[in-house]
Amino acid sequence: MPQHTTTEIFDMPRRKSETAAAPRGRPRAYDAKAALKQATETFWRTGYSGTPLDKIAAATGMSPPSLYAAFGNKHELYLEALASYWEMTLAATREALAGDRPLAEALMLAYEAALSFYFSRKGSARGCFVIGTAVAEAVEDAEIRKSVAAGLRMLDGDFEARFRTARERGELKQDADPEALALLASATMHTIAIRARAGARRADLREIAHKAVTVICGSPSASH
C-alpha cells in the first residue's frame, strides 16, 4: 500500500477522538463529562434546592451561560447527574453480585462498593446521592420521583435475581423467598445510605451490613 499520505494519518485520529469532523467556531473550554461529575459533587453536599447555580459554576469552573449551553438549565443538569449516579451505582452493585462468589460475600461486596461511594476521598460522609438529594424533591418533582422509583426497582431486581440463583445453587434453603430477601437486602442498603448521611462512621456501617447479611443468608454463614 504505497498511498500513505500524511493527511490520511492525521485525519484518522482526529475523527476517532470526536464524532464530528470540525466544530467550526470557538472551541469549548470545558469537559462536559468532568463538569457533570463536579456538579454532582456539589449537589451531593447541599442538595438540589440548597445548591445555587453559582456554586456549580464555581465548582465546574464554567460560567452560567456555558452551563446552560451544556445542560439546559439547573433542573436538567440535576436530572442528568441523577441518571449518571444511578448508572454508576447500579453497575457497581451488579458487578458485586455477579460471578461465582458465595452469597454472603457477594452481598458484602455490594455494600462495600456503596460505602466507597458514600464516603468521599477526604473521609467526610456524604451518604447516598439519591437518598440525600433526590428523595427530598421526589414528592413535588415528578421527573425526579420517576427516576428514584425506577432506580429502586432495578436495585430490588438485581438483589432478587442473585437470591434466586443462590437458591438454585443450594446456598439458600429451598423454601427461601427470594423476593422477601431482596427487599431486606435493599432495605439494608437504604439504612446504610441514611446513616451515612447522618454521620455514622464507615466501620460501624460495615458492621451493620455484616449483621444484616448474617441474618439474611441464614445464621452462621458470613465467614465462609
Instruction: Give me the least distance between CB of 30 and a copy of itself, in Å please.
Output: 26
Segment near a copy of itself (CB under 8 A); pick from 53-61, 73-81, 91-99, 127-135: 127-135
Instruction: For residue 206, state whether it binds a copy of itself (rule: CB under 8 A).
Output: no
Instruction: For residue 21, state whether it binds a copy of itself (rule: CB under 8 A).
Output: no
List of residues contacting DNA (CB under 7 A): 21-30, 51-55, 62-66, 68-69, 73-75
Instruction: For residue 53, state whether it binds a copy of itself (rule: CB under 8 A).
Output: no
Segment near a copy of itself (CB under 8 A); pick from 3-11, 32-40, 158-166, 195-203: 195-203
Instruction: For residue 55, state whether it binds a copy of itself (rule: CB under 8 A).
Output: no
Instruction: For residue 83, state whether it binds a copy of itself (rule: CB under 8 A).
Output: no
**Closer CB to DNA, residue 66 or residue 214?**
66
Query: Quick one: what does residue 20 bind among a copy of itself, DNA, none, with the CB cut-off 5 to 8 Å set by partner type?
Result: none
Query: Quick one: what does residue 25 bind among a copy of itself, DNA, none, with the CB cut-off 5 to 8 Å set by partner type?
Result: DNA
Instruction: Give me the least distance between CB of 185 and a copy of itself, in Å please.
Output: 10
Q: Which of 93, 60, 90 is nearest to 77 (CA)?
A: 60
3-state secondary structure the chain: CCCCCHHHHHHHHHHHHCCCCCCCCCCCCCCHHHHHHHHHHHHHHHCCCCCCHHHHHHHHCCCHHHHHHHHCCHHHHHHHHHHHHHHHHHHHHHHHHCCCCCHHHHHHHHHHHHHHHHECCCCCECCCHHHHHHHHHCCCCHHHHHHHHHHHHHHHHHHHHHHHHHHHCCCCCCCCCHHHHHHHHHHHHHHHHHHHHCCCCHHHHHHHHHHHHHHHCCCCCCCC
Decide: helix, strand or coil at residue 208.
helix
Q: Which of 14, 56, 11 is nearest to 35 (CA)?
A: 56
| Residue choice 53, 88, 90, 184 for contact with a copy of itself (CB under 8 A) | 184
**Closer CB to a copy of itself, residue 70 or residue 178?**
178
**Closer CB to DNA, residue 36 or residue 104?**
36
| Residue choice 30, 37, 41, 47 for contact with a copy of itself (CB under 8 A) | 47
Instruction: For residue 157, state whether it binds a copy of itself (rule: CB under 8 A).
Output: no
Instruction: For residue 186, state whether it binds a copy of itself (rule: CB under 8 A).
Output: yes
Cβ(127)–Cβ(197) under 8 Å? yes
Instruction: Write the DSSP symbol of residue 130.
Output: I
